Amino acid sequence: MYDTPKVENDVATTDIKISAHGCQVYYGDTHAIKDVDIDIEDTTVTAFIGPSGCGKSTFLRCLNRMNDTIDVCRVEGDIKIDGEDIYDPKVDPVQLRAKVGMVFQKPNPFPKSIYDNIAYGPRIHGLAKSKSDLDDIVESALRRAAIWDEVKDRLLAPGTGLSGGQQQRLCIARAVATEPEVLLMDEPCSALDPIATAQVEELIDELRGQYSVVIVTHSMQQAARVSQKTAFFHLGNLVEYGDTGQIFTNPQDQRTESYITGRIG
Amino acid sequence: MPVLWLVLIVLVMAVAGYMLGRARALKSAGGDSRDLHSLPSYYGANVTIMTLVPAVGILIVWLLVQPILIDRTISSTVPAEAISDSMTRGLFMSDVRRIADGLDLAVTEGAMGRDEADNIRAEFTDIRDRLGNLGVALGSDVGPEVLRAAQRYRTMSSAGNLLMTLAVLAAAGVGFTISYMATGKNFRARNVVEKVIRYLLIFAATIAILTTIGILLSLVFNTIEFFRLYPAEDFFLGLTWSPSFGGGSELGILPLLWGTLYISIIALLVAVPIGLFAAIFLSEYASSTVRSFAKPMIEVLAGIPTIVYGLFALLTVGPLLMRVFGDDGIGIMQAGTAVMTAGLVMGIMLIPFVSSLSDDIINAVPQSMRDGSLGLGATRSETVKQVVLPAALPGIVGAILLAASRAIGETMIVVLGAGAAARLSMNPFDAMTTVTAKIVSQLTGDADFASPEALVAFALGMTLFVITLGLNVFALYIVRKYREQYE
Amino acid sequence: MTDANATQPGAGRPARSSSLLQLDERTRRRNASEARFRLYGMAAVGIGLAFLVMLLVAILSNGLGAFQQTAFHLKIELKQDVLDPNGNRDIDEIKDAKTFAYSPLIREAVLRQIEAYGIDTPLSEAPVEGFSSPLDNLFSSGARSTLRDRVIANPDLIGQTVDFRILASSRVDGYLKGRVDRESIARDKNLDTVHLDLVDALHEQGAVEKEFNWDFITGPDASDARPEQAGMGVAMLGSFFMMLVVLGFSLPIGVAASIYLEEFAPRNRFTDLIEVNISNLAAVPSIVFGILGLAVFIQFAHLPQSAPLVGGLVLTLMTLPTIIISTRASLQSVPPSIRDAALGVGASKMQSVFHHVLPLAMPGILTGTIIGLAQALGETAPLLLIGMVGYIASNYPGGVAEGFLAPNSAMPAQIYEWAKRADPAFYERAWGGIIILLGFLMTMNIIAIILRRRFERRW
């Protein structure tokens, strides 16, 4: 599988995958996201940074409508993926989430075998026509999540028995197995130790070739290491958005600079 | 001296002890409570406790033990031939007690002199008549042995009571004196009082164990007694239940167990799907307004006493089923009381039980599990069916087992709704009966407690206790294991 | 970037339609099954609520009738020659006139009323004297004693014509309430359609009325033949004394046990045993507690049968686990910082618990206790075994001691008793009794909820 290197991403980087305009989010009476405009590119890692409570996770959860599961949450404005408004009443969030996968802060493998964890998505979406098809999907997802070698001998062991870093990579493999176009990651390394973090970061970098990856992180170093684009959120506002290098070396906004240099946060 | 007076005297001593002990402690410190080891009230409380606890302890033990001892002594002095064939020694003794009580009453009412009561002879006086005038009803004429035994009973009781009074007063006095003398400014009254309170707390906690022991003893002894009169294998393997108090009863438990099981199964078939789906809907789908209305409303069903369900089965559901399945309808139901009636109503009763237990258990499944599934594009129902329920399965099994144990032990619904005939039938519209219903019917008649027909109730109770206890222990174990997994 | 195209983007996204705005076939099917599943859930909740409504409707429609009772208003002449032939108002002589001597007086009063209203009925020919008369079937068989009691209480009434409220028989009562119809009367040997015509006529004139039935709430039970006189009053007192016993024992014992287990108990086998015991006792069938009560309190300790004291003791043992479990929960909810604060200023462990933790946990404890009491109040099965059914609770207890020790019934036992009786008129009483019982339970639960709302503390 590692035999056909192609360089396609330099063409794709200019495509806009997700674009949000005038996006507002309310939790009951709280105005959590204020008028955010952002264009997220395909085959790029985009990092959302900012102090805790700044709304970066909330905004991320808007991108695959996970906020629908919270009763009091209300989203206004428009968010488009490939030019289609995802909050259009005709859009089924289930179909959307198959297209926009998500990895959560804490590794959350299902209390099933490793195989069933990965096969869960393909099964519900009907991606496999046969058992061997499914086997292939599972294997390739585990390979892409760089965990195949560690688990190939115990695919039927429970996923909850893996170490924290392995669990998180299992969750990434699980997300990848449904063939998403966008991968959202909500602080995927916050519950992991440094070694596991390094592995996951490496993986994210590899995934960039195929997906538009959006990662929320509270660690500026991590953002600098893995992302090409960075967005800085503060108090529900998108303060600054641009190339990662430029944000970290030459921020345009006073608040970004304060955050980068550690004065707020 | 009546017990009430004795208690009052001891109480007065205790109150006096409080004030005296407190005063003595203060005096020993020269009126300055800061020099005392403990607060003055602890010194008072110490004297009170030392006065009260031993005296009351002796009183209680004495009151419990004395009748048993006297009973035993009198009973051993009565020759076997004095007891006529138609009665047991137990019945004889209860006659003795009743006459002794009657004589006491006669003396206090002034209908009989003290000497007369002690020396009256059955040969010359119609005791039954004289006591009957005082409102003491006796079942038969009083024979000389019974009367003599009753008189001995009285003498021994009054002697015992006198001794008891002395012993209790002595205990109170000694406790009072010792603790009063010990009171002084260096005495660690608080520590002593707290230790006593601690023992009282431990005693209170032990009551739960005492209750269990009480249950076990009362079941085991009477069950053994029953098996002495009726062979155990006939009880456990018998296919017929036809008690007759004239003797020649067949007391096989299997028809009762079958009825119990059948009704419980129907009840669970009603309660589990409805309860489970209701729990799923309320915890996964319903908006908070719907939830805050529907959940307590369904739980109201759990707060309704079972007698209400029993009446509902007997007077509403039974006739309703009769209209459909009875002679005017399909014709497979003879009477309103049937397995189906009781099972349906019991199912209704169990709905809130299943739903609130499952609700707790479903809510214990971490939200991250649901997020993970929804984030992959699963619908809610797929998430519930493939992630939440499998994760919650052990807990739900536990909940269902608890519900089953409830169903098996339920009494009022089956007493009123299931009928009285014990039969082994497959037709759910037949009347059948259960273990609990038969416990009630065997123990509420005028039966002699020593007959196998009454004692069988204890064997039934034992069986019921063992089954429900087994189910509970197992279910609680599963639920606890399940909880630990997510803690 | 070696593996970037392990699966080609185009090839890897096969079956899915590219646009989010169009639902593919599979999603549509999945959504349909989602809707079905949701519907099952809604149906389950709906069925649960429907059962509740059915139950309440059954209770109210059948039971409200018990709160009304039909009565005749008659002017009865208390004739001196019948009741006090010698005219000396000697109370013993008046007592000599037995109840059946009063029958003709009532019959006469009815006939007079028939005449006064000009009602045309064959019953106007009914005999006044004699052992029985068709007119008697209109009244409760207890009507005569009502008269006699009143005369004995006030002999001066003799010779006067007095207004009396005479209870109608249960059939007449049932007819006016719509429980008995003319068809079923055809099979009834006690009452004819002639009677019903008369009742209708008297009803029009206002001489027969349905009135609020205080006697049902406060009165004693009556024998099999007089459902119209049966009331809950005595059974209510029985329940009241039982609840006093339960409260008096289970609250202190339950609180003490919980304090020990929660605050003092070391973790060892003994306390483990107690804990397992308590959680299992909570699930022991209530009938088993009845067996315990029968064997221990009645057979062994010789406490009086059917006494509220014994019932209360049995229910105490049954309620204890509930109270202990809820008390422990409220003790747990008091944060450790409170205990530390008390210990920090030099209080002993015991003082910190009794001065600080216990008062703070009190609202929760009381709530749990009230709920436990409500459970005990509605419990029936154990009471059957200790003999609180099977007789007529017709006497009010004479005093407090008698209240605890004299045989009595209890509300649920009384309801059961009525449900077992042959005359369907008692069913109405049973449902009515349930309304009263549920009224008490509801009040207790509302008090518990208010307590919780008002005093609940979030730490």
A178 to chain C: closest CA residue: C13
Taking residues C251-258, what's their average pLDDT? 94
The CATH number covering residue A87 comes to: 3.40.50.300
Whether C47 has its CB under 8 Å from any CB of chain B: the answer is yes
Task: Please check whether residue B382 touches A, CB under 8 A.
Answer: yes
Tokens 């049966």, residue located:
C230
For residue range C327-362, list pLDDT tens digits in order. 999 999 999 899 999 999 888 888 999 999 999 999
Are C147 and C267 part of one and the same domain? no
* Residue of B209, B406, B464 with shortest CB distance to C273: B209
* DSSP state at residue A48: E
Which pTM was predicted?
0.85
Query: Distance from C133 to chain B by nearest Cα, in Å?
Result: 34
- Choose, out of B68, B201, B263, B401, the residue to mutate when testing the contact with C (most C CBs < 10 Å): B201
- Say whether A104 and B371 touch across the interface (CB within 8 A): yes
Give the pLDDT of residue A7: 41
B357, B476 contact by CB (below 8 A)? no
Per-residue pLDDT tens over the stretch C277-286 = 888 888 899 9
What residues of A are in the C interface, CB distance below 8 Å?
A: 1-2, 4-9, 81-82, 84, 86, 88, 90-92, 94-96, 98-99, 124-127, 140, 143-144, 179, 181, 206, 209-210
- Residues C145, C242: one domain? no
From residue B176, alpha-carbon distances to A205, B20, B56, B184, B185 in Å are 85, 10, 13, 14, 18
Regarding whether C239 and C208 lie in a shared domain, the answer is no
Instruction: Please give the residue range of the domain that contains residue C278.
Output: 233-455
Of A5, A96, A124, nearest to C20 by CB-CB distance is A96
How far apart CA B464 and CA B444 sit, in angstroms, is 18
pLDDT digits (tens, 9 = 90+) for C108-167: 888 888 888 878 787 777 777 777 777 888 888 888 888 888 888 888 888 888 888 888
Q: How far B468 CA lies from chain C's nearest CA (Å)? A: 7
- What strands, in cross-sheet order, belong to the sheet with C208-212? C161-167, C68-77, C208-212
Percentage of residues of chain B with pLDDT beyond 70: 92
Round to whole Å and give the CA distance between A25 and B382: 28
Do C201 and C349 lie in one domain? The reply is: no
A254: which residues sit within 8 A by CB, 6+ positions away?
A: none
Asked whether the ipTM of the predicted complex exceeds the cut of 0.90, the reply is no
Give contacts of C11 with chain A, Cβ < 8 Å.
Answer: none
Contact B67 C31 (CB under 8 A): no
Both tokens of C246, joined, read 């339960």
The mean-pLDDT minimum among B61-75, B168-182, B381-395 falls in B61-75
Residues C197 and C268 in one domain: no
Residues C118, C258 within the same domain: no
List of residues 6+ apart from C443 with CB closer than 8 A: none
Q: What is the mean pLDDT of residues B63-82?
A: 79
Nearest CB among B198, B205, B307 relative to C380 is that of: B307
Quote the CA–CA distance of B163 and B21 in Å, as a whole number: 29
Upper half-sphere CA count for residue C275 (Cβ side, 13 Å): 14
CA-CA distance, B460 to C142, in Å (whole number)? 43
pLDDT score of C229:
84
| Residue B85 pLDDT > 60 | no
Residues C387 and C244 in one domain: yes
Do the Cβ atoms of B378 and A94 come within 8 Å? yes
What span, in angstroms and rounded, lies between the C-alpha atoms of C97 and C102?
8
Looking at residue C110, its pLDDT comes to 83
Q: What is the mean pLDDT of chain B?
A: 86
Residue A170 in domain: yes
The per-residue pLDDT for range C380-406, each reduced to its tens digit, is 999 999 888 877 777 788 778 888 888
| CA separation for the pair A56, A54 (Å, rounded) | 6
Which tokens in the block code for residue B440?
Answer: 């009630």
pLDDT, residue C20, reads 77
Task: Quote the Cα angle for A88-A91-A95, to 5°.
Answer: 150
CA atoms within 13 A on the CB side of C434: 29
What six digits make up the tokens of C87? Answer: 């005219």
- The whole-number pLDDT of residue A3 equals 47
Mean pLDDT is lowest, of B226-230, B463-467, C430-434, for: B226-230
Of A218-227, B97-106, B465-474, the range with the lowest mean pLDDT is B97-106
C430 in reach of chain B (CB within 8 A):
yes
- Whether C198 and C304 map to the same domain: the answer is no
Question: What DSSP string runs through A49-93?
Answer: E-STTSSHHHHHHHTTTGGGGSTTEEEEEEEEETTEETTSTT--H
When comparing pLDDT for B106 and A131, which is higher?
Answer: A131
For residues A47 and B242, which has the higher predicted lDDT (pLDDT)?
A: A47
| Per-residue pLDDT at A261 | 86
Chain C residues closer than 8 Å to B449 by CB: 299
Q: Nearest 5 degrees, angle CA C378-CA C383-CA C384?
A: 120
CA distance B288 to chain A (A): 8
Token pair for A157: 């062991």
Amino acid symbol at C114:
I
Specify the number of domains making up chain C. 2
Contact A140 C7 (CB under 8 A): yes
Average pLDDT over residues B427-436: 90
Question: Do C176 and C70 touch, CB atoms closer than 8 A?
Answer: yes
Shared domain for C409 and C277, answered yes or no, is: yes
Q: Does C46 reside within a domain?
A: no
Find tokens 């290098």 and name the residue: A245
Q: What is the pLDDT of residues B180-212, one digit of tens each?
A: 888 887 888 888 889 989 999 999 999 888 999
CATH number of C408's domain: 1.10.3720.10
A233–chain B nearest CA distance, Å = 23
pLDDT for B336-370, tens place per residue?
889 999 999 999 999 999 999 899 889 888 888 99
Whether C100 has a pLDDT exceeding 80, the answer reads no
Cβ atoms of A258 and A264 within 8 Å: the answer is yes
| Residue C17 pLDDT greater than 60, yes or no | no
Q: Which residues in chain A are closer than 8 Å to C12, comparing Cβ atoms? A: 179
Give me the pLDDT at residue C2, please. 40
Q: Is the pLDDT of residue C94 over 90?
A: no
**Is residue C167, in this structure, part of any structural domain at all?**
yes
What local confidence, expressed as pLDDT, does residue A137 receive?
Answer: 93
Residues of C with Cβ-Cβ distance to A143 under 8 angstroms: 3, 6
Sign of CA pseudo-dihedral C339, C343, C349, C353:
negative
| Candidates A1, A86, A88; nearest CB to C6 | A1
Is B390's CB within 8 Å of A111's CB?
yes
Q: What is the mean pLDDT of chain C?
A: 85
Mean pLDDT of B44-67: 88
* pLDDT for residue B27 is more than 90: no
Picking from B449, B464, B476, the nearest residue to C299 by CB comes out as B449
> B372: which chain A residues are within 8 Å (Cβ-Cβ)?
104, 108-110, 171, 174
What is residue C135's predicted lDDT score, i.e. its pLDDT? Answer: 80
Tell me the C-alpha distance between A93 and C16, whole Å: 14
Tell me the three state secondary structure of residue C161. Answer: strand
| Residue B316 parent element (H or E) | none
Q: Residue C13 pLDDT > 60, yes or no? A: no
- Chain B contacts of C385, Cβ < 8 Å? 439-440, 443-444
Q: What is the mean pLDDT of residues B390-409?
A: 91
Binary contact (C6, A99; C-beta < 8 A): no
What pLDDT, on a 0 to 100 scale, did the predictor assign at position B138?
67
Q: How many domains does chain A have?
A: 1
- Domains of chain B and any CATH numbers: 3-187 (no CATH), 241-485 (1.10.3720.10)
Best interface-test mutation with B: which of A68, A70, A124, A171 has the largest number of B CBs within 10 A?
A124
Among A71, A101, A124, beta carbon nearest to B375: A101
Which of B285, B365, B376 to mutate to test binding with chain A, by most A CBs within 10 Å of its CB? Answer: B376
Say if the Cβ atoms of C16 and A86 lie within 8 Å. no
Rounded to the nearest angstrom, the minimum Cα separation between C33 and chain A is 12
- CB neighbour list of residue A170: distance below 8 Å, 6 or more residues apart: A107, A109, A114, A117, A118, A145, A147, A151, A159, A162
Residue of B nearest to A170 (CA): B372
Q: Predicted confidence band at C14 (pLDDT cuts at 50, 70, 90)?
A: very low
User: Is the domain of C308 the same as that of C360?
Assistant: yes
Looking at residue B83, its pLDDT comes to 67
**Whether C38 contacts chain A with CB within 8 A:** no
Residue with tokens 């004699």: C130
pLDDT tens-place values along chain A, 265 residues long = 444 444 444 444 458 889 999 999 998 888 989 999 999 998 899 999 988 888 888 999 999 888 887 878 889 888 999 888 999 888 888 888 988 999 998 899 998 899 999 999 999 988 888 999 999 999 999 988 888 999 999 999 988 889 888 999 999 999 989 889 899 999 898 888 888 888 889 889 888 888 899 999 988 889 999 999 999 999 889 999 999 999 999 898 999 988 888 877 6
Which domain does A191 fall in, by range?
9-260
User: In three state form, how does the secondary structure of A212-240 look?
Assistant: EEEEECCCHHHHHHHCCEEEEEECCEEEE
Residue B139 pLDDT class (50, 70, 90 cuts): low
Flag the least confident range among A216-230, B272-286, C82-96, C227-241: C82-96
Cβ neighbours of C30 in B, within 8 Å:
379, 382
Q: Does residue C275 surpass a pLDDT of 90?
A: no
Q: What separation in angstroms does the CA of B210 have from each of B206, B456, B472? A: 6, 24, 19
Chain C residue closest in CA terms to A126: C26
Which among C9, C18, C23 is the nearest to A210, CB-wise? C9
Q: Compute the nearest-CA separation of B274 from chain A (Å).
A: 25
pLDDT for A2:
47
Confidence band of B60 (pLDDT split at 50, 70, 90): confident
Least confident of B151-160, B427-436, C450-459: C450-459
Identify whether the C-beta of residue B278 lies closer than 8 Å to the C-beta of residue C420. Answer: no
Interface of A with B (CB under 8 A): 64, 66, 69, 71, 94-99, 101-104, 106, 108-112, 120-121, 124-125, 171, 174-175, 178
The size of the A-B interface in CB pairs under 8 A is: 70
Residue A1 within a domain: no
pLDDT for the residue numbered B158:
85
* B375 Cβ under 8 Å from any chain A Cβ: yes
* A34 belongs to a structural domain: yes
Q: How confident is the model at residue B447 (pLDDT cuts 50, 70, 90)?
A: low
Residues of A in contact with B378 (CB under 8 A): 94, 120-121, 124
Q: Tell me, yes or no, whether A78 lies in a domain.
A: yes
